[in-house]
Amino acid sequence: MLLRYRGSEGMVAWAFHRISGIAIWLFVLLHVLDIYLAGGNPNVYDDILKFYASTPGRIMEVLLGGALFYHALNGLRVMAMDFWPRLTAYHKQIWYANWVIFVVVGLPGAFIIIRPVLGL
Amino acid sequence: MALYSRSGRPKPQSGGFELAAWYFMRLSGVALFVLALIHFSLQHFLFDPSQETATWIFNQRWNSLFWRGFDWLLLMMVVLHAFLGMRTVTMDYLKGGTRTFALTALYLVGTVVFVMGTIVVMSVPLTLGK
């Protein structure tokens, strides 16, 4: 139902925006806790950091980066349409342009994060 | 006068706090596009988590007023943007007492997160190469 309600790209863009926003919020909670420990208990922080640098940690960082980048690009798309309503006629095209930017910029980024796992 | 928005929240017509919050989401969104993406690029592309120990943060990364100010501004923007966003989500799905409870918990957590982040970014000694 999440994807069929209004159907088509606009609804999917909205659902992804909401899901990625909640995911980023959860990471922000974790990240403020861990950085607080860097000041309060550096040894515990360094242990958490070892997880961030591990293989599952890096996979989660790629997902976080993806959520962040999607939310950022789609957020600009929403704002553009809010302030220049005539752009809503092209909301699908802007969404597909976002995906092109997402893949072209995101793939090299994902490669840099995952590179140590591949031993490159 | 966008009464209808294809994927964002329509601009509130009531004015007051709701309208101010609507504008603030967009303003902080633009700020976060710059702040959050630079922060993520620094931590994951320019540097790597394998080197970012507590010692590294204090002696290198945060041994600069500019980058501490940058990260604190990011904290302030992300807390306000994320908690206003979570408020919208909460109000979309919850009603009555559950909504009041969830919103109270949300604001409490938001305040705690902001205070904790501010304490750590301001309390660690700044040596500036001394």
Is B8's CB within 8 Å of A65's CB?
no
User: Please, how many CA atoms are within 13 Å of residue A81, restricted to the half-sphere of its CB?
Assistant: 23
Query: DSSP class of residue A87?
Result: G
Task: Give the pLDDT of residue B15.
Answer: 78
Measured torsion, CA atoms of residues B114, B119, B124, B126, in degrees rounded to the nearest 10: 80
> Cα A61 vs. chain centroid, distance in angstroms?
9
What percent of chain A stands above pLDDT 90? Answer: 79
Domains and CATH numbers, chain B: 16-123 (1.20.1300.10)
Query: Coil, helix or strand for B23?
Result: helix
Length of chain A, please? Answer: 120
Which of the four pLDDT bands, split at 50, 70 and 90, describes residue B3?
Answer: very low
Alpha-carbon distance of B104 to B98, in angstroms, equals: 10
Contact present, B9 and A30 (Cβ < 8 Å): no
Helices A8-40, A55-83: inter-axial angle, 10-degree rounding:
130
**CATH number attached to the domain at A8-118:** 1.20.1300.10
First-to-final CA distance of chain A: 43
- Among B66, B78, B4, which residue's Cα sits nearest to residue B34? B78
Is A46's CB within 8 Å of B54's CB?
yes
Per-residue tokens: B5: 């928005």
Is A79's CB within 8 Å of B8's CB?
yes
User: Please, how many CA atoms are within 13 Å of residue A21, restricted to the half-sphere of its CB?
Assistant: 26
Is B37's CB within 8 Å of A57's CB?
no
ipTM: 0.90
Compute φ and ψ for B95, nearest 5 degrees: -135, 165
Domain boundaries of chain A, sorted by first residue: 8-118
Chain B residues with CB inside 8 Å of A92's CB? none
Which of the four pLDDT bands, split at 50, 70 and 90, describes residue A2?
Answer: low
Contact present, A82 and B11 (Cβ < 8 Å): yes
Alpha-carbon distance of B89 to B84, in angstroms, equals: 9
**pLDDT tens-place string over residues B66-106:** 999 999 999 999 999 999 999 999 999 999 999 999 999 99
Mutate to test the interface with A, among B7, B34, B39, B120 (most CBs of A within 10 A): B7
Chain A residues with CB inside 8 Å of B55's CB? 42
User: Please, how many CA atoms are within 13 Å of residue A11, restricted to the half-sphere of its CB?
Assistant: 8
The CA-based angle A49-B32-A82, given to 5 degrees, is 145
Task: Find the helix or strand (DSSP H, E) in which A1 lies.
Answer: none
- Among A43, A118, A29, which residue's Cα sits nearest to residue B117? A29
Alpha-carbon distance of B100 to A79, in angstroms, equals: 29
**pLDDT tens-place string over residues A15-71:** 999 999 999 999 999 999 999 999 889 999 999 999 999 999 999 999 999 999 999
- Among B5, B9, B33, B34, which residue's Cα sits nearest to residue B22? B9
Taking 70 as the threshold, does the pLDDT of residue A11 lie above it?
Answer: yes
